[in-house]
Amino acid sequence: MSGSIPSVLYHFTCIDSVEGVRREGITRGFIPLLGASGTMQLRPGWAWLTEDPDPARQTWIRTRAEGAACDRSEFRFAVDPAKCVRLTRWLDHPVRAQARTSWLRDFELYPDVVARWWLARCPVPAEALRLETGT
């Protein structure tokens, strides 16, 4: 893994998921995987985290205004990386090496944002999380 693990990471979610995450931790999450058919598919079991606490800089988040069911930047959890399993930077994750270049070009539009992405194997336990924003 390139670079050191930050002392805190962040996970963003919306009103539909915040209570479940608070009670149970992060139990769902997907990473892209190149399937046997050559198309990108989603593999369950990975939580997306970031080093960046600013919701305005989470460019991957689709808001209600953009047609999403809820605003996934509405709630921010601080995450204790020491309590995460298989924590890996997205840029170093083996699944990324399998992705098509054209898909990565679309997915990684903002390199400065992508450089702050991390993945942890689910579940990330509730005791590793602290709700910082939202209600």
Please state, in angstroms and rounded to a whole number, the distance separating the CA atoms of residues 114 and 58: 10
Mean pLDDT of 98-102: 82
Number of residues written out for the chain:
135
* pLDDT band, very low/low/confident/very high, at 36 (cuts 50, 70, 90): confident
Please state, in angstroms and rounded to a whole number, the distance separating the CA atoms of residues 103 and 81: 28
Share of the chain above pLDDT 70, in %: 89
* pLDDT band, very low/low/confident/very high, at 1 (cuts 50, 70, 90): very low
For residue 45, what pLDDT is reported? Answer: 93
* pLDDT band, very low/low/confident/very high, at 11 (cuts 50, 70, 90): very high
For residue 68, what pLDDT is reported? Answer: 66
Residue 70 neighbours by CB under 8 Å, 6+ apart: 14, 15, 16, 64
Radius of gyration over every alpha carbon of the chain, rounded to an integer in angstroms? 15
> C-alpha angle with apex 44: 39 to 47, nearest 5 degrees?
115
- The helix or strand, by DSSP H or E, that contains position 130, with its residue range, turns out to be strand 129-131
Give the CA count within 13 Å in the CB-facing half-sphere of 15.
Answer: 7
Question: 73 in helix, strand or coil?
Answer: coil
Tell me the pLDDT tens digit for each residue of 37-79: 878 788 899 999 999 999 888 876 665 556 667 888 889 999 9
